């Protein structure tokens, strides 16, 4: 994790992917709370290149003294909890109530935490099974659910789909029927 984080500080392409993952999480909360997604996105990318080199906005470092992985995110955001979309859009009101935030600073902390969590997930996939394989595992599980798999059947269908030359609804349905016959 730490090495993947360091790479996002020195390689512009890795930084772009790194920050995209962070922004996937940030964007979701900003949108749900009626804030300006484009403004927050622009601020984040401008900040990532503040020293003339585009870098990752989240970092991970292993703290050996505490035996813990420590994540840090630094991104300026203009957010609001009153006025504008936060008062006009019912979903924004509901989202802010659900988050139980009292002010923009608390909302910023939640948004940053979600961005950091999203980055953790992406970095973990990158350094373990790999993002492509992780996406395919999710796709197989989704196919299993779509064809009606329940409970343990979902994992069984997903596992079987890994070994098929084609993974589609018809194949998932066939596998599910075979599981239910046995």
Question: For position 36, which CATH number holds?
Answer: 3.90.770.10
Which of 128, 143, 160 is the C-terminal boundary of a domain? 128
Q: Domain check: are 68 and 18 in the same one?
A: yes
Domain span holding position 147: 133-181
Q: Does 119 share its domain with 140?
A: no
Task: Examine the domain organization and report whether 120 and 142 are in the same domain.
Answer: no
Q: What is the CATH number of the domain that holds 141?
A: 1.10.8.660
- Domain end among 128, 152, 172: 128
More confident residue, 146 or 127: 146
Which 3-state string (H, E, C) describes 102-158? CCHHHHHHHHHHHHHHHHHHHHHHHHCCCHHHHHHHHHHHHHHHHCCCCCHHHHHHH
Pick from 173, 181, 178, 182: nearest CA to 149: 173
User: Is the entire prediction scored with pTM above 0.75?
Assistant: no
Residue 155 and residue 107 share a domain: no
Region at 84 (left for phi over 0; alpha for psi -120 to 50; beta for the rest): left
72 shares a domain with 142:
no
What pLDDT sits at residue 7? 84
Last residue of a domain, one of 110, 128, 146: 128
Per the listing, tokens 């935030």 go with 101
On whether both 148 and 83 belong to a single domain, the answer is no
Query: Do residues 91 and 76 both lie within one domain?
Result: yes
For 98, list phi and psi in degrees, rounded to 5: -60, -40
Assign 116 a pLDDT band (cuts: 50, 70, 90). very high
Q: Do 138 and 162 reside in the same domain of the chain?
A: yes
How high does pLDDT run on average in the chain? 91
Query: Which residues pair with residue 58 across a beta bridge?
Result: 73
pLDDT tens-digit profile of 2-39?
Answer: 888 888 899 898 899 899 999 999 999 999 999 999 99
| Domain count of the fold of the chain | 2
The total of other beta-carbon atoms located within 10 Å of residue 88's CB is 10
3-state secondary structure at position 28: helix
**Could you give the CA distance from residue 22 to residue 117 in angstroms, rounded to a whole number?**
8
Give yes or no: residues 7 and 68 share one domain.
Answer: yes
- Tens digits of residue pLDDT in 67-110: 999 999 999 999 999 888 877 899 999 999 999 999 999 999 99
């Amino acid at each position: 994790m730490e090495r993947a984080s360091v790479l996002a500080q020195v390689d512009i392409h890795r930084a772009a992917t790194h920050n995209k993952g962070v922004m996937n999480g940030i964007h979701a909360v900003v949108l749900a709370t009626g804030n300006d997604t484009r403004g927050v996105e622009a601020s984040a990318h401008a900040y990532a290149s503040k020293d003339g080199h585009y870098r990752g906005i989240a970092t991970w470092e292993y703290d050996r003294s505490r035996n813990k992985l420590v994540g840090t995110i630094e991104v300026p955001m203009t957010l609001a909890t009153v006025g504008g979309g936060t008062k006009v859009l019912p979903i924004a009101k509901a989202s802010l109530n659900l988050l139980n935030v009292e002010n923009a600073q608390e909302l910023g902390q939640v948004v940053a935490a979600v961005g950091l969590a999203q980055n953790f997930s992406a970095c973990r996939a990158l350094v373990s099974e790999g993002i492509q394989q992780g996406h395919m595992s999710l796709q197989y599980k989704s196919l299993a659910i779509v064809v009606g798999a329940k409970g343990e059947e979902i994992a069984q269908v997903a596992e079987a789909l890994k070994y098929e030359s084609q993974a589609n609804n018809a194949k998932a349905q066939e596998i599910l029927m075979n599981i239910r016959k046995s």
